[in-house]
Structure formats: C-alpha cells, structure tokens
C-alpha cells in the first residue's frame, strides 16, 4: 500500500528525512572506474533491481555515492554495494543503536504474544509496555 492510497494519513508519520550533522555539506563522489565487462554486469543488476521495485532512479541527488561491484566467487555474479562512508560520517550516531538482548527480554517479560499463522502479524497483550493502547 502506498501513501497516496491512504487519505487523511499525517505525512509526518510516514515521511523520512535524512538527518545531517551541522556543518556538513553534501558530497558527490567521483565515478569509480571499472572494466567494461563489470560495468555491463552492474547495469544488468541495476535494471533487475529497478524492475523488481527495490530501487528507483533519482535525477537530482544532493548526495551521490559510488557503486562498489562485488563478484560472488562461485557464480561470478555481481553483487552491488554502495560506498556510504561520506554519508555515514555526516549522519548523527544513533544513541540506542543495538540494545542488548537482556534489555529486550526484560522489556517484554510477563507479557503474552501470539503469532498468527501464515502471516506476519502479531497480537500483543494489552499489558504490553511496547505498545500503548487507547
């Protein structure tokens, strides 16, 4: 489901904004050189990802990061990675990046959770501290 299919939804709830530390300017990395053979494989992989809907073209981007082609050893297929070092440096660090497993378990202790078969939905008990129910 897309945003335009949900009238009345507050855009502030669904809109993502890239946070950048103060004083950092957008970086456009110079194009990385690669062999013609590798470049053809990269183009094929990009076309496959666009067709599948995983990525989409951007015409005017403030930040431009290089594609780093990685060849898989057994099949020699190309795996596309992106060099986000400049963007990572300019982004603020998450204060709660990886909570410890113990904290997660303690947070849901004494609450029930049931999985619905053949779906990705969960029922959470109303006493759950993870979600507030009206």
| pLDDT lower than 50: segments of the chain | 115-124, 127-134
Going by their DSSP bridges, the two strands 122-124 and 78-82 should be labelled as unpaired
- Give the model confidence (pLDDT) of 76-105 as tens digits: 888 889 998 998 999 888 776 666 666 666
Contact (Cβ atoms closer than 8 angstroms) between residue 63 and residue 87? yes
Q: What is the pLDDT of residue 74?
A: 87
- Token look-up 């004083």 returns 23
- Interatomic CA distance for residues 62 and 86, integer angstroms: 12
Write out the two tokens for 23.
């004083």
Domain boundaries, the chain: 42-55+63-91
Which residues, 6+ apart, have CB-to-CB distance to 16 below 8 Å? Answer: none
φ/ψ (deg, to 5) at 7: -65, 145
Q: What is the pLDDT of residue 134?
A: 39
Q: What is the pLDDT of residue 40?
A: 92
Q: What is the pLDDT of residue 57?
A: 86
Contact (Cβ atoms closer than 8 angstroms) between residue 81 and residue 88? no
Write out the two tokens for 34.
């690669």
Q: What is the pLDDT of residue 102?
A: 66
């Amino acid at each position: 489901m897309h945003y335009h299919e949900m009238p009345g939804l507050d855009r502030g709830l669904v809109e993502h904004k890239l946070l950048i530390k103060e004083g950092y300017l957008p970086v456009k990395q110079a194009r990385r050189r690669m062999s013609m053979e590798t470049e053809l494989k990269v183009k094929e992989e990009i076309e496959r990802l666009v067709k599948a809907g995983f990525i989409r073209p951007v015409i005017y981007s403030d930040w431009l990061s290089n594609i780093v082609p990685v060849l898989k050893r057994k099949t020699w297929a190309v795996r596309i990675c992106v060099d986000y070092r400049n963007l990572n440096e300019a982004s603020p660090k998450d204060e709660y990046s990886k909570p410890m497993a113990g904290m997660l378990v303690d947070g849901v202790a004494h609450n029930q959770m049931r999985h619905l078969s053949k779906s990705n939905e969960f029922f959470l008990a109303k006493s759950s501290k993870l979600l507030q129910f009206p």
